[in-house]
Amino acid sequence: MNKQTAPLSYKLRRSSRAKNTRIVVTADKIEVVAPLKVSERRIQDFVQAQKDWIEAALKRVAGRVQTASPKLAPSEYRDGAHIPYQGRRLPLKITTGKAKTVRIELLNDEMFWVKLPVGIADEQYSALIQQALIRWMKNQAKQHVQQWVDLHAPRFALFPRNIRIKTQKSRWGSCGPQNDINMNWLLLLAPAAVLEYVVVHELCHIKHKNHSPAFWQLVGKHLPDFKQRRLWLKQHGASVMQGL
């Protein structure tokens, strides 16, 4: 049985000057330029056939943008370092105790408290804390995404079959042909309003598997200010994509 893959989201532009269908990949979108008379089915098949090339192009573009974008995470995870979380940078407090594994706790939404087992060498601190923070963030992302889904899905019966939290280097989210939604945990580094926007964006793809005017109207019914949230992601997304 062949595994179905999620369709790529793209903007379609018809052109009377275009002789052939072509794909343009930039930092914030995939645009397909097609002649006026080419059917949407042929365009979809063409895009699907070029999926590997598109994914590679997205990674190349993301790499170029990230080179010029400041990284949000600290160079080392030491006491006093600042950790990006929901659009803020929270200080890190490190202590040692009887725990057998590294534990992360968010205190009063103002500070990350890290509890390390006794006996860990100083040179191991940074890598162990980074790994523990990533695990913590992924778990938190799942909870936050579910909260936004619970809030927005019932309004227009946009219920996903499954929700998965993934690590992705070129996409914020996706909605598959069977309405499975994938979300990038790195969105937890962005403001909560941005994560909410991406959740709504993917939920609206349950009804509209495209970026047609009807799709954007549905997004706007959930979030009248979605353009501002989308703009934040365009302006700061490259830094968020660099992760922890």
CA distance 32 to 13: 6
pLDDT-based confidence at residue 149 (cuts at 50, 70, 90): very high
Q: Domains in the chain: how many in total?
A: 3
**Residues 31-62 pLDDT 10s:** 899 998 889 888 888 888 888 888 888 888 77
Residue 158's pLDDT is 97
- pLDDT at residue 66 greater than cutoff 70: no
**Residues 208-238 pLDDT 10s:** 988 899 999 999 999 999 999 999 999 999 9
Nearest C-alpha neighbor of 197 from the set 169, 230, 157, 150: 230
H or E element that contains 240: helix 226-241
Within this chain, do residues 146 and 231 fall inside the same structural domain, yes or no? yes
CA distance 112 to 217: 39
Token pair 């205190």 in the structure block, residue: 107
Is 223 domain-assigned?
yes
- pLDDT at residue 19 greater than cutoff 70: yes
Residue 38 sits in which domain range? 11-67
Is 3 domain-assigned?
no
Is 6 domain-assigned?
no
Within this chain, do residues 35 and 116 fall inside the same structural domain, yes or no? no
Within this chain, do residues 45 and 87 fall inside the same structural domain, yes or no? no
Residue 3's pLDDT is 43
- pLDDT at residue 27 greater than cutoff 90: no
Is 168 domain-assigned?
yes
- Which structure tokens are listed for 214? 């009807």
Within this chain, do residues 156 and 232 fall inside the same structural domain, yes or no? yes
Return the DSSP state at 69.
Answer: S
